[in-house]
Amino acid sequence: MSPVTPTQRAHLDRQLDETCLREIQGKTVECKKYEGTAFATIVEKNASKAASPTTSKTNSPAPEFEPNFYTAAEVKEHNKKNDLWVIVDGKVYDLSKYTWTHPGGSSPILAMGGRDASDAFHNYHPAPVYKQLKYYYIGELLEEETFGETSAQAFVREHRELRQQFLKEGLFETNLWYYAGKVTWYLSLLSVALYLTLTGSHFLVRMLGAAFMGFFFQQVAFFGHDIGHNAVTHIREVDMTIGVIFGPLLTGISMAWWKHTHNIHHVACNSIDIDPDIMHMPVLSVSTDLIRVFREKVVPSAFLDSFTRWLVSHQDKTFWAVMGIARFNLYAQSLGLLLTWPEKIPKRKWEIISMLTFFLWQGLLVSTIESHWEKAAWVLLSNGLAGVLHIQICLSHFSMPTYQGQAYNGDEDEWFKMQVKTSLNVTCPRWMDWFHGGLQFQVEHHLWPRIPRHNLRRVQKVCEAFCKKHDIQYNTLPFTQAVGHMKSHLDHVATEFRKLPPKDQPGFFDSMIWEGINARG
């Protein structure tokens, strides 16, 4: 362990007095920036040892703890499952033993392995979590000396100051009356759906009930999205309990599944190797690069391989049909994760019970319809109309740039720039916010996911001005144009796919679905 120089010691001592704003249970609080973490812990240990010296033959106190220093290159070497370091605010942490018990899943930590995770950590964790860092602290980042602040450092400082500004203005705080109104709206939709289905004496009335059920599924998904980010009560246990009710119990979608896919989507947005939200082979592909990721495997069935090639090369025609049945895939993925995922899943038992209860009450509801073909029509219509949600999700990222591997390798792909680059906003008037459920502010949501959606419109104006100031392309389109832009992109990929030689065209057995069925990948 290299000795600490006087300059380094003075720098670390100054950090002990630094303060910042953080969020706890939706309230803004001022904290010691490094309290309970890194070097502060060493100072505490040294003070404790000075007060109670260790007895030895020479009756001398135990030597002081000293921090070790690591270069960014050294940290980057530790990016494997069982050997994983990250950097947070210039401190180095070894998360090798924590990766598999992380409440948000192992994938987000693995995606940040060997990198500076400061912005990801700040934007996904409330104040109390910072105190847990001390258990994994191993040293300090040895930064290169520069003459003054570089332009890249100034940019990072400025966008982090934006977050501090939003905290100071109370924009992380939830208006619970807003969500009380939303819950009333959701339950009203469900009540109308049940009433029309159970009491309707005509086919069209019962189908109207199915339409209201689909509308209910679409609207509640926005609430589940907010809950998954702990952006409602900001109390993890409370939000998780609400999530079980409005997730698997009332809509059949597991909150645990959502967290395990959505958290990594935020951290590695549009990475063709990491982001599950753009991995839809063999049905859809957003990039020919994604297609090549799944090549060079033996395909046992020539028929299935041909069928896969036909699907992707004609995704320009099949897209709408896929969106109409996509919800059934979410049911399957939710159950698959709850029943087979090896990592710890909070409330796993309650989620499984809730999902089974969902299928029970939905089954009983459909059983009140006499005609079998009408039963099928009700199920297809209610789940198909919920496909509007899938279109809203897809248009936020499908047409945006993709990349291979991990991001956050330098100044050009640092946190803020990558989130803006890979996300698309939907321009809409305030009175249409109910329809988009906060997804229209995708850029702002990706940058500050714990800000409640009713504050995002205010944040959006500041973010767009900040991007303009720093000459960063800010992507936003009206809804119909955004859909057209996404569709044109998928059409282009389909055309490019048809041009690929057969060896570059993967089949069903190269897909994420096949990997998932066999618990691989």
Q: pLDDT (tens digit, 9 = 90+) per residue, 428-459?
A: 999 999 999 999 999 999 999 999 999 999 99
Looking at residue 127, its pLDDT comes to 84
> Among candidates 256, 279, 253, 257, which has minimal Cα distance to 268?
279
Q: Are strands 91-94 and 83-88 parallel, antiparallel or unpaired?
A: antiparallel
pLDDT over 80 at 14, yes or no? no
Does the residue 25 lie in any domain? yes
pLDDT over 70 at 303, yes or no? no
Helices in 87-140 by DSSP H: which ranges? 106-111, 118-124, 127-130
- Which residue do the tokens 């001390």 mark? 134
Looking at residue 150, its pLDDT comes to 85
Does the residue 330 lie in any domain? no
Does the residue 112 lie in any domain? yes
Helix, coil or strand: residue 231: coil
Q: Provide DSSP, 145-195.
A: P-SS--HHHHHHHHHHHHHHHHHHTTTTS--HHHHHHHHHHHHHHHHHHHH
Looking at residue 444, its pLDDT comes to 96
What average pLDDT is seen over the chain?
A: 84
Do the beta carbons of residue 451 and residue 28 sit within 8 Å?
Answer: no
385/166 Cα distance (integer angstroms) = 36
Retrieve residue 456's tokens. 């995002």
pLDDT over 60 at 509, yes or no? no
Looking at residue 126, its pLDDT comes to 86
Retrieve residue 293's tokens. 């990721």
Does the residue 208 lie in any domain? no
pLDDT tens-digit readout, 182-217: 999 999 999 999 999 999 889 999 999 999 999 999
Looking at residue 105, its pLDDT comes to 80
The count of other CB atoms within 10 Å of the CB of residue 476 is 18
What sign does the dihedral 439-441-443-447 (CA atoms) show?
negative
Looking at residue 282, its pLDDT comes to 76
Looking at residue 143, its pLDDT comes to 76
pLDDT tens-digit readout, 336-395: 999 998 778 888 999 999 999 999 999 999 999 989 999 999 999 999 999 888 898 899
Assign 19 a pLDDT band (cuts: 50, 70, 90). confident
Does the residue 191 lie in any domain? no
Q: Are strands 137-141 and 83-88 parallel, antiparallel or unpaired?
A: unpaired
316-338 burial string, b = 16+ CB within 10 Å, else e?
A: eebbeebbbebbeebbebbbebb
Looking at residue 51, its pLDDT comes to 56
Number of domains in the chain: 1
pLDDT tens-digit readout, 41-92: 655 555 555 555 544 444 444 445 677 889 889 999 998 888 999 999 888 9
Region 503-512 average pLDDT: 51
Looking at residue 55, its pLDDT comes to 45
Does the residue 1 lie in any domain? no
pTM of the model: 0.86
Retrieve residue 355's tokens. 């999902």
Looking at residue 300, its pLDDT comes to 43
Retrieve residue 360's tokens. 């029970």
> Among candidates 285, 320, 293, which has minimal Cα distance to 494?
285
Region 267-291 average pLDDT: 84
Looking at residue 501, its pLDDT comes to 66
Does the residue 506 lie in any domain? no
Query: What is the CATH number for 78?
Result: 3.10.120.10
Does the residue 461 lie in any domain? no
Sheet holding 79-80, edge to edge: 68-70, 137-141, 91-94, 83-88, 79-80
Range of the domain at 131: 6-145
- Which residue do the tokens 């991990």 mark? 406
∠ CA 390-485-512 to the nearest 5 degrees? 45
Region 222-247 average pLDDT: 92
pLDDT over 90 at 167, yes or no? yes
Residues 6 or more apart whose CB falls under 8 angstroms from that of 162 comprise 462, 463, 466
